[in-house]
Amino acid sequence: TEGGLKKTGVLFTTDEALNSENRVILPFLKPYLEGIFTLKHKGIFEFKDIKFTSFKHNHTAETYGIRFEIEEKTVSFVVDTLFFNELLDYYKDSDYLILNVVRLSEKEGVMHLSISDVEKFIKYSNPKKVIMTHFGMTMLRANPEKVAESLSNKYGIEVIAAYDGLTVEF
């Protein structure tokens, strides 16, 4: 930003992150940006050559998943959420799914996806590739690479357990 003299970049964020008592976007930083856009349920956004739709998730903090339309491909990022059936419709026909999979199995009261939820997405969306990320301890203990390999073998698609530095071609 050249010391704040040149506005650079845009921010797509939640209202909670921007305006709540617990905001994480500090007010003095706002003037440094070219623009700030607040995500909303089924909000359609375009910036330069990027087009995406945001979908409200069910989590303790305000969270939104994103469905990117990139050239002829659909890449969806399903962030922290409790599974609910509408999620499947939001991300239906995604070519690539990136899923935050904190848990190996479901646990009452925990608002995170598990492997059984990953399987629901695979069956419903029939993606070309699934990338699992954001692992909690139950996933780490189960060895995410082995879990991904098992899902790949079961469904006949590429399932990847993300790791630091992973690069993926879409």
Contact assessment for residue 68 and residue 75, using Cβ atoms and an 8 Å cutoff:
yes
Q: Share the mean pLDDT of the chain.
A: 96
Q: What angle do CA 85, 53, 38 make, to 5 degrees?
A: 110
Question: Where are the domain boundaries for CATH 3.60.15.10 in the chain?
Answer: 41-161
Contact assessment for residue 6 and residue 34, using Cβ atoms and an 8 Å cutoff:
no
This prediction has a pTM of 0.94
Q: pLDDT for 84-116, tens place per residue? A: 999 999 999 999 999 999 999 999 999 999 999
Indicate the fold that domain 41-161 takes in CATH.
Metallo-beta-lactamase; Chain A (3.60.15)
